[in-house]
Amino acid sequence: MPLHGGGDTMRTLLMILIFLLTVSASPAAGTDVFIGKVCSVEREGGNVLVRVSVDTENNSGESKEILVQIAPDHLPENISVGRVIRIWGEYVMQGDTGMFRASHIRSGGFGGMRNDPTGVRSRIGRGRPGGGMMRGGGVGGGNRGH
C-alpha cells in the first residue's frame, strides 16, 4: 500500500526546519566586528572614539573615526588612548551620522600574547624538548626522527 501525502509532510517539516534555522541565525548575522585604535575614552557615558582603516579601491590607507557606545559597566578597565581594541556590535544610524553600538570590547594581547592571538604558536612546541617553535631542527621543523 503506497503512502500518499508523505511528501507533503516532509515538505512541511523541511520548511519549518529552514525557518527555525533562519530565525536562530539572525542575531549572529547582525553582529559586526572590527579592530581600531582608541582616540579618546569617556568612561561615564561609555563612549569610545576609535580610528579604523577604510578599504578603498586604490588602498590609499585612509582612515576614519567611529563613535563606539557601550554600557559603562562593560567597558574594560585597560582601555586607554592609543590602545588597539577589537569591538563586536552593530552599526546604527542616528540622523545623518552613525555610531557603533558595541556589545563587547576586547583589549590587550588578544589571548595573552601580542603576536599570538589564537594561541596556536604557543601550543605547537608543547611537549617538545627545547619547548617551542623554531628551536633547532632546521627547515620544516626537523627532529621528527625521519
Cell of 29: 548575522
CATH of domain 30-107: 2.40.50.140
For residue 120, the SS3 value is helix
107: β partners:
85
Write the DSSP string, 37-79.
EEEEEETTTTEEEEEEE---TT----EEEEEEE--GGGS-TT-
Spell out the per-residue pLDDT of the chain, length 146, in tens.
455 555 688 888 888 888 777 665 544 556 888 889 999 999 999 999 999 887 767 666 788 888 999 999 989 888 999 999 999 998 887 666 678 899 889 886 554 445 666 667 767 766 556 554 455 444 455 455 54
Residues 14, 32, 121, 140: is their CA dihedral positive or negative? positive
Residue 99, number of CB atoms within 10 A of its CB: 15
What's the pTM value of the predicted model, to 2 decimals?
0.53
